[in-house]
Amino acid sequence: MFKNILVPLDGSKLSEASLIPAAFLAEALHSRVTLLHIIEQDPPSEIHKERHLTKPDEAEAYLNEVAKRAFPATVRVETHVHTAAVSDVARSIVDHAPELKPDLIVICTHGRGGVHDLLYGNIAQQVLATGTIPLLAVKTAIPSFELNKILIPLDPDSIHDNSLGVAESLAKIFMAELSLLSIIPTLSTLDGEQAAVGSLLPATTQAYLDLNVENAKKDLQIHVDALHKGHVGAFAEVARGDPASSIVKAAEESGADLILLSTHRKVGLGAFWARSVAPKVAQKAKAPLLVIPLFQTE
């Protein structure tokens, strides 16, 4: 469970929003942390009205200062500065995975426009595109971080979703309560081919969606029963509507400390659910989002 955490930093206070959850997880999980800075080719002189780190020595000094300031002495923190200037910082961070071997990347994804938005949005997308490294996306700076309640959105075919293993492990380590959520779209929130079919065959599509609600309830109950047998507190809910909006609403109403979401390569209704949910949730949700890349076709 997350023994090597990678934290990319650009030197701005905004990017340091990732440090509090990274420190919390590293201390609790006895993880090693690597702080990473990539020297950018032809960089702007400032980022968010702060001096941009463009020289290897000042970047190394900054990372060392952060290591002492943001992490307890019990956490092993290493620093790495990529000194050869690159034009694609996001791609460079992904390319460091074979060398640094992280099993979790923690990053701030909320910018204020310009280079920062392009950089960090691109990082999240490229990391998830590799399909191998979980990503903890932190939108804004938070005064503290804990794991008492974890929201787990599951697609309608949740009986095959092995991201529950990650959730169960976290729940047992942190004594957290799990809230399982499955969202079935309504006729009005379908898109793509599903929407086209719904407009041509509304009654048939409605019956199909209603059947998915019942199937989702049964699948979720199987998960809840299994979690209870493992002495993990859990409950489940099926919602109707747009997946991303429903997830954000559920997280706010439940006071979730973390949203744990898996991404899939699926077809049919699962593809509708998974296609663009993660980036939308990362953009709208206040709670940190842990994305687990999965590759399934069931």
pLDDT tens digits for 162-221?
678 899 999 999 999 999 999 888 877 777 667 666 677 778 878 878 888 888 899 899
| CATH architecture of the region 149-293 | 3-Layer(aba) Sandwich (3.40)
Question: Sheet of 135-138: strands edge to edge?
Answer: 77-86, 32-40, 4-8, 104-108, 135-138, 289-293, 258-263, 149-154, 177-184, 234-240
Spatial CB neighbours of 88, under 8 Å, sequence gap ≥ 6: none
Separation of first and last alpha carbons in the chain: 26
Count of C-beta atoms within a 10 Å radius of residue 30: 12
Lowest mean pLDDT among 94-98, 106-110, 268-272, 275-279: 268-272
How far is Cα 18 from Cα 35, in angstroms, rounded to an integer?
Answer: 11
What is the model's pLDDT at position 256?
A: 95
In the chain, where are the structural domains located? Answer: 4-138, 149-293
Dihedral sign for Cα atoms in the order 149, 153, 156, 160:
negative
Phi then psi dihedrals of residue 40, to 5 deg: -90, 140
CB 25 within 8 A of CB 116: no
Instruction: Tell me the two tokens of residue 55.
Output: 């020289």
How far is Cα 262 from Cα 292, in angstroms, rounded to an integer?
Answer: 5
Highest mean pLDDT among 8-12, 181-185, 217-221, 248-252: 248-252
What is the model's pLDDT at position 108?
A: 83
CB 135 within 8 A of CB 128: yes
Bigger pLDDT: 275 vs 161 = 161
What is the model's pLDDT at position 263?
A: 73
Same fold yes or no, 4-138 and 149-293: yes
How far is Cα 70 from Cα 207, in angstroms, rounded to an integer?
Answer: 53
DSSP state of 136: E
The pLDDT confidence band at residue 83, using thresholds 50, 70 and 90, is confident
The pLDDT confidence band at residue 46, using thresholds 50, 70 and 90, is low
Torsion angle defined by CA atoms of residues 124, 278, 291 and 108, in that order, rounded to the nearest 10 degrees? 40
Task: Using DSSP, state whether 220 is helix, strand or coil.
Answer: helix
| CATH architecture of the region 4-138 | 3-Layer(aba) Sandwich (3.40)
Bigger pLDDT: 50 vs 224 = 224
